[in-house]
Amino acid sequence: MVKIAFSKWSKSSDSEKKYEFSKKLFTKIAKDLLGKETKKLRSNYMGIDNEGVYKNNDRILKFTYSIKDYKAALRLIGKNLNNVVAIYSVHKFKLTFKNNKGYNIYVIEMEALKSLPMKFNNFGIQEVFWVFIAKKNSMSQFLNFTNQILNGLMELYKLGIYYYDLHSDNIMVSSNGSYKLIDFGCCTIKKLNK
C-alpha cells in the first residue's frame, strides 16, 4: 500500500484542493499503469459518480472509495469468468492529512467493455427483459441474454460474492458479444470454505 501525506489545508479551500490534487494523482497513476495512450472517460461511465475512470484500448482503470468494490475485485483477479468482467490488478492508496484520519483509494484495472445499446439505458433488469420482448428480438436471443446473466450471478456466487445491483448500467458487452457483469459496490462478500 502506498501512503500519500498532505499538509493541512485551510477549511475554505479543502474540497477544491483535494479535488485538484486527486485529479493530478489519478492521471499520473493511470498513465503509469495504462501507458501514454490513456484517456479519461466521462464520470457517469459504468455508473460511477465523481470517481476517476481511465481507459486505453483494451483496459479500464477505475478509482473508487468502495471497500466492497475492492474486496470483490481482489477475489476476481486472474479468474477467467465467462460473464463477469476480468480484473487484472488491484491497488490500494492511503491518503492521509495532518491532524486528520485520512482515507483509502482503491484502483481497479479491468477489461474494457461496451455499454448495452441505448434502448436499455437506466433500466432495471425486469425492464431489460421486457425491452427484449417488445423489440421483437428472437426467443433465442432473449434466452441467450437471460442465460448469460444468470451464469454471471452463479460465477460470482461460487466465489462468495453476492451481487445486489443488477440493472442495465451494470451489464456490459465484450468484444466477442458476451454479456458481463460489472460494479461490485453493492455486493456482499462471504468467507469461502476451505
Nearest Cα neighbor of 52 from 36, 72, 31 is 31
pLDDT of residue 8: 41
Residue 55 makes CB contacts below 8 A (sequence gap 6+) with 34, 38, 39, 41, 61, 112
pLDDT of residue 55: 75
Place of cell 495512450: 37
pLDDT of residue 118: 57
Lowest mean pLDDT among 54-63, 75-84, 91-100, 125-134: 125-134
Q: Is pLDDT above 90 for 56?
A: no
Nearest Cα neighbor of 94 from 83, 105, 82, 109 is 105
What are the residue boundaries of the structural domains of the chain, listed by start? 2-189
Average pLDDT over residues 79-88: 94
Task: Please give the span between the terminal C-alpha atoms of the chain, in angstroms, as a whole number.
Answer: 27
pLDDT digits (tens, 9 = 90+) for 86-131: 999 998 887 766 556 667 888 888 888 887 765 565 566 666 666 6
Average pLDDT over residues 8-31: 62
